[in-house]
């Protein structure tokens, strides 16, 4: 049954989750003017608009007052047959309308994040939106919405807002290491405000965050103090990160000394050693820190700087071996203009017996 009604008898959907966009609306307006009404809109039984809210608004503005209503219970498709259009007409209106139909739908879509989140609670939208997409809505609906919006949806990372960006290779190698480790417990000892903590939280069942300066962590104390006072409580760790701007060599020695003979399972160790800058600017080198010799601090040489990456590598090999572990390098690279070394290691407890052997050598 068909009927003709006035467009003003239709009721817009006040809870429409699409806010529309200025560009989409402009294109819709132009398309209605030039090409006329295309695909049908959709109503519920009370003449409320399910789909086509924006089209109705623009059509009413343009004086397209009459609406042909086709009643349906959804068992058959409803086709609008445009008697004035022909797809075979080269460069004709029919082809242009095909473009306009798709492109306007695409350009005029701007989800109302709060609306979507509210609806996702009230009904099952799991087929329409993944968890990651809903999380993204939650982020854009939260504080900072305006600035997020200005960046534009297309260019925003899905984890934007989870800590500031960090050096890309450091991030890549750390994530690789996290996924090589068992997924239980991670110790993030120089946790900071970068994005690593949130990557670790994705990967591990539990992350213990330590930072001497940052408030929002589990232990706001120096890493050394954490190791001395609390490491025995977290001996089951699968992953430990020493992401220091200076050198974490002392802390790494302390870790190995504490876990010696007690840790039976392999773990991944990550480190950032920024001591290169010290060598360059302050001209001081402390070989003792890297278990090289006991002469104390001496003037740094150009060779110390050149060999910085090897020094860190040899240090890890030595300290792990000294305390009964076998280290396997996973990644090592020198970044930030040569001043910083980033490494990841697999550390495996040596079979019992190896430790005694090792200790006999000292």
Ligand X SMILES: C[S@@+](CC[C@H](N)C(=O)[O-])C[C@H]1O[C@@H](n2cnc3c(N)ncnc32)[C@H](O)[C@@H]1O
Query: Footprint of ligand X on this chain (CB under 6 A)?
Result: 163, 166, 190-192, 194-197, 210-214, 222-223, 243-245
What lies within 8 Å, CB to CB, of 261 at 6+ separation is 324, 355
Nearer to ligand X, 118 or 221 (CB): 221
Structure-token match 């760790």, residue found:
237
Nearer to ligand X, 216 or 245 (CB): 245
Give the 3-state secondary structure of residue 347. strand
If you compute the radius of gyration of the chain from its CA atoms, what whole number of angstroms results?
32
Q: How far is the CB of 291 from ligand X (least distance, A)?
A: 19
Nearer to ligand X, 225 or 280 (CB): 225
CB atoms within 10 A of CB 75: 5
Q: How far is the CB of 260 from ligand X (least distance, A)?
A: 22
Nearer to ligand X, 48 or 250 (CB): 250
Q: How far is the CB of 224 from ligand X (least distance, A)?
A: 6
Nearer to ligand X, 213 or 328 (CB): 213
Nearer to ligand X, 56 or 268 (CB): 268
Nearer to ligand X, 137 or 226 (CB): 226
What lies within 8 Å, CB to CB, of 358 at 6+ separation is 321, 322, 324, 350
Token pair of 344, please? Answer: 């990841």
Q: How far is the CB of 163 from ligand X (least distance, A)?
A: 5
Nearer to ligand X, 18 or 191 (CB): 191
DSSP β-ladder status, 267-273 and 340-349:
antiparallel
Q: How far is the CB of 332 from ligand X (least distance, A)?
A: 17
Q: Measured between alpha carbons, how far is 246 from 274 in angstroms, rounded to an integer? A: 5
In this structure, what are the phi and psi dihedrals at residue 90, rounded to the nearest 5 degrees? Answer: -60, 135
What lies within 8 Å, CB to CB, of 324 at 6+ separation is 260, 261, 349, 350, 354, 355, 358, 359
Q: How far is the CB of 289 from ligand X (least distance, A)?
A: 14
Q: Which residue is nearest to ligand X (CB)?
A: 194
What lies within 8 Å, CB to CB, of 352 at 6+ separation is none
What lies within 8 Å, CB to CB, of 107 at 6+ separation is 21, 23, 24, 27
H or E element that contains 240: strand 239-243
Q: How far is the CB of 245 from ligand X (least distance, A)?
A: 5
Q: How far is the CB of 335 from ligand X (least distance, A)?
A: 12
- The answer to whether the CB of 247 falls within 8 A of the CB of 273 is yes
Tell me whether residue 95 is exposed, middle or buried, using C-beta atoms within 10 angstroms of its C-beta: 0 to 12, 13 to 18, 19 or more: middle
Q: How far is the CB of 258 from ligand X (least distance, A)?
A: 16
Nearer to ligand X, 137 or 190 (CB): 190
Structure-token match 């000394």, residue found:
257
Structure-token match 């966009």, residue found:
21
């Amino acid at each position: 049954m068909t009927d003709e009604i006035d467009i003003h008898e239709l009721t817009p959907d006040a809870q429409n989750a699409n806010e529309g966009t200025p560009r989409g609306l402009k294109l819709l307006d132009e398309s209605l003017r030039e090409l006329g009404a295309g695909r049908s809109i959709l109503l519920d039984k009370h003449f409320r608009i399910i789909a086509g809210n924006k089209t109705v608004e623009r059509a009413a503005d343009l004086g397209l007052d009459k609406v042909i209503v086709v009643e349906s219970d959804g068992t058959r498709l409803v086709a609008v047959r445009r008697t004035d259009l022909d797809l075979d007409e080269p460069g004709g209106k029919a082809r242009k309308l095909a473009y306009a139909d798709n492109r306007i739908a695409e350009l005029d879509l701007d989800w109302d994040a709060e609306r979507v989140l509210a609806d996702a609670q009230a009904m099952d939208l799991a087929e329409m939106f993944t968890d990651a997409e809903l999380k993204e809505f939650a982020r854009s609906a939260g504080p900072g919405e305006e600035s997020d919006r200005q960046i534009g949806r297309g260019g925003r990372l899905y984890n934007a807002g989870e800590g500031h960006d960090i050096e890309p290779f450091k991030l890549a190698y750390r994530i690789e290491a996290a996924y090589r480790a068992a997924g239980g417990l991670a110790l993030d000892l120089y946790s900071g405000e970068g994005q690593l903590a949130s990557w670790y939280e994705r990967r591990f069942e539990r992350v213990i965050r330590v930072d001497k300066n940052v408030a929002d962590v589990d232990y706001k104390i120096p890493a050394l103090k954490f190791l001395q006072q609390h490491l025995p409580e977290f001996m089951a760790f699968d992953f430990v990160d020493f992401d220091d701007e200076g050198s974490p060599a002392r802390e790494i020695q302390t870790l190995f000394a504490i876990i010696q003979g007690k840790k039976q399972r392999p773990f991944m160790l990550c480190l950032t050693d920024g001591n290169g800058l010290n060598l360059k600017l302050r001209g001081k080198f402390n070989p003792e820190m890297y278990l090289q010799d006991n002469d104390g601090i001496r003037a740094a040489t150009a060779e110390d700087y050149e060999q910085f990456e090897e020094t860190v590598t040899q240090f890890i090999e030595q300290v792990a071996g000294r305390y009964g572990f076998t280290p396997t390098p996973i990644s090592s690279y020198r970044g930030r203009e040569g001043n910083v070394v980033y490494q990841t290691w697999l550390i495996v407890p040596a079979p019992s017996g190896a430790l005694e052997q090792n200790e006999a050598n000292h």
